[in-house]
Structure 1
């Protein structure tokens, strides 16, 4: 399976030896994949589903939408944690670089 741009970015910007961080990254990538599948399901269908129960028939919100909301909350929480880990890792790498602080010090804070 080909790596996504997100996966490449996270692998490049997190500590490969930190098992906890790598576990967060794996979980984040799995949840992202699941979110995309649910999103495709909702886009290809109707935002509501018809429920038939005996003689009763009614419309209700597609359950995938509710699951997407839950997944989104989990993704946002993991994203906050991973962003903290990425910043820590980048600081470590910056400090251990052979020419840290010489050439790129004037570029900090640029977008």
Structure 2
């Protein structure tokens, strides 16, 4: 399967020899796919769904919304890891012209 732009970007931030870091990229991309599927479900079914229980009918919040909140929380937590990697990469790419002439 072709890698998404997101996956390519995240792989560029990590040590690709580290199984745990690769797992974080895969988990992040999987959560993004799940989030997009939940968005489709919410768009299709709406924020409220009709529940029929015997003779009763009532509306309740779409369960996909609470799942979306959980997914977003997990994405934010994982994104903290990737933000650290971005900062490390930026720090490693920054240099002072004086560094070229250091003794």
Q: TM-score range by the shorter chain?
A: 0.7 to 0.9
Q: Return the structure number with greater relative CO, CA threshold 8 A, min gap 6.
A: 1
Instruction: Say how many residue pairs are matched.
Output: 98
Secondary structure at 2:3 match in 1: coil
Structure 1 residue ranges (4+ consecutive) displaced by more than 6 angstroms after TM superposition: none
Q: Does structure 2 conserve the Cα–Cα contact (< 8 Å) formed by 1:14 and 1:21?
A: yes
Query: After the TM superposition, which of the residue ranges 77-86 and 6-15 deviates more from structure 2?
Result: 77-86
Unaligned 5+ segments in structure 1 are: 95-99, 106-111
1:45 aligns with 45
1:33 aligns with 33
CA deviation string 1:77-103 (max 9, x = no partner)? 011112213433x26864xxxxx8377
Distance in 1 (alpha carbons) for counterparts of 2:79 and 2:52: 39
Q: Does structure 2 conserve the Cα–Cα contact (< 8 Å) formed by 1:21 and 1:85?
A: no
Q: Does structure 1 conserve the Cα–Cα contact (< 8 Å) formed by 2:42 and 2:62?
A: yes
2:76 aligns with 76
Aligned-residue Cα RMSD (Å) equals 2.2
Could you tell me how far 1:48 is from its partner in structure 2?
0.7
